[in-house]
């Protein structure tokens, strides 16, 4: 597996996003299955694991601490603050006093003394980003965090934050159908010697062939509210998926592997963190596909911004994030 740098760490270019083991995509797997998957990931060689205080309102961090805390030396641990569950609701709160409390709660759940990479999960627009990043810098000084990052931010916000403390990584959505980072953050992270950590690099299961109908999603599945997964957008996007799958078949890889190869080809500083609840997909994602440049170009030309039906977020969610956005036609 190709190694890439994230701040002071060298990690495999494919990491593991742990959110789906506790959160967001309907009913999570049984705990014993999640424990087996996490340990299998480490056995395979995954060495960069990503969680957050938000996921399962703390349950995901607790899962990691209990399932693989005894193997802490085997992986670089990333978590996030600034967006948590309060009284059963998701709350964005970037006040320094909140972040400084959250880190101690996360350390306890994760059964560790230090988090390797700690992100501001969302910029709380009621708090200057410099103040929130200043709180994270204090965590580094206290030895509770080794490096800090940001999530779902623009290049301008990244540069403001970087002036306060070096930013090791920006975690934004990036896949062949979500390419907003190409409007600024992809180049800004390279310029600042920061990693770009691509979440949802398989498009929330879309490029794994896991999405067939808008009626398949459970009540608690966040894709129910995402325009690209709703009619008539989904039907149009599924036509594109069939063409994408044909490219992958001809190249001798799965659509998920083609999507991951495409993401990693976008820069030497890009790392991908697909998530899964499937042992089969866990192994598939970690098996690099040798995809020729001309095949990557075919995928690139197929999945243009104009070809994708629907924005990636509903309007209310879009208002909460800071990433650059393509103008809708």
DSSP label at residue 222: G
- pLDDT tens, N- to C-terminus, the chain (329 residues): 799 999 999 999 999 999 999 988 989 999 999 999 999 999 999 999 999 999 999 999 999 999 999 999 999 999 999 999 888 889 999 999 999 999 999 999 999 999 999 999 999 999 999 999 999 999 999 999 999 999 999 999 999 999 999 999 999 999 999 999 999 999 999 999 999 999 999 999 999 999 999 999 998 899 999 999 999 999 999 999 999 999 999 999 999 999 999 999 999 999 999 999 999 999 999 988 889 999 999 999 999 989 999 999 999 999 999 999 887 65
Q: Are 323 and 181 in contact (CB under 8 A)?
A: yes
Buried residues in 260-299 as b, exposed as e (16+ CB within 10 A): bbbbbebbebbbbbbbbbbeebbebbbebbebeeebbebb
Q: What is the pLDDT of residue 88?
A: 82
Query: Could you read off the pLDDT of 247-269 as tens digits, one per residue?
Result: 999 999 999 999 999 999 999 99
The closest of 82, 39, 76, 78 to 61, measured between CA atoms, is: 78
Catalytic residue among 55, 75, 118, 313: 55
Q: What is the pLDDT of residue 56?
A: 94
What architecture does CATH give domain 3-206+266-288?
Answer: Alpha-Beta Barrel (3.20)
Q: What is the pLDDT of residue 288?
A: 80
Q: Parse the chain into domains and list their residue ranges.
A: 3-206+266-288
Going from the C-alpha of 281 to that of each of 39, 209, 252, 254, 260, the distances in angstroms are 15, 11, 16, 10, 12
Active site residue 118: no
Query: Could you read off the pLDDT of 61-90 as tens digits, one per residue?
Result: 999 999 999 999 999 999 999 999 888 889
Burial class from Cβ neighbours inside 10 Å (0-12, 13-18, 19+) for residue 208 reads buried
Which residue intervals of 84-209 are DSSP H helices?
A: 96-110, 129-141, 155-162, 185-191
Q: Specify which residues 175 forms β-bridges with.
A: 178
Enter the pTM of the model.
0.96
């Amino acid at each position: 597996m190709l190694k890439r740098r994230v701040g002071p760490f060298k990690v495999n270019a494919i990491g593991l996003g742990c959110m789906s083991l506790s959160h967001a995509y309907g009913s999570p797997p049984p705990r014993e299955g999640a424990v087996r998957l996490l340990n299998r990931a480490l056995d395979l060689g995954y060495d960069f694991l990503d969680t957050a205080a938000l996921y399962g309102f703390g349950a995901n961090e607790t899962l990691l601490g209990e399932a693989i805390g005894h193997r802490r030396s085997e992986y670089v641990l990333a978590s996030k603050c600034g967006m948590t569950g309060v009284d059963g609701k998701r709350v964005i709160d970037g006040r320094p006093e909140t972040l400084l409390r959250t880190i101690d709660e996360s350390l306890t759940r994760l059964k560790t003394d230090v988090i390797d990479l700690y992100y501001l999960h969302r910029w709380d627009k009621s708090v200057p980003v410099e103040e929130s990043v200043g709180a994270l810098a204090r965590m580094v000084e206290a030895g509770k965090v080794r490096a800090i990052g940001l999530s779902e931010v623009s290049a301008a916000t990244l540069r403001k934050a970087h002036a306060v403390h070096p930013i090791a990584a920006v975690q934004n959505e990036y896949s062949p159908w979500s390419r907003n980072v190409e409007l600024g953050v992809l180049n800004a992270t390279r310029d600042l010697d920061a990693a770009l950590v691509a979440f949802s690099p398989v498009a929330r299961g879309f490029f794994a062939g896991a999405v067939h109908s808008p009626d398949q999603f459970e009540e608690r599945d966040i894709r129910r509210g995402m325009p690209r997964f709703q009619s008539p957008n989904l039907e149009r996007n599924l036509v594109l998926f069939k063409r994408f799958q044909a490219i992958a078949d001809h190249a001798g890889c799965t659509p998920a592997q083609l999507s991951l190869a495409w993401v990693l080809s976008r820069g030497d500083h890009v790392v991908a963190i697909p998530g899964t609840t499937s042992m089969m997909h866990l192994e598939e994602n970690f098996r690099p596909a040798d995809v020729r440049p001309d095949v990557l170009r075919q995928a690139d030309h197929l999945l243009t911004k104009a070809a994708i039906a629907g924005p990636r977020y509903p309007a209310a969610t879009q208002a909460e994030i800071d990433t650059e956005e393509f103008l809708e036609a």
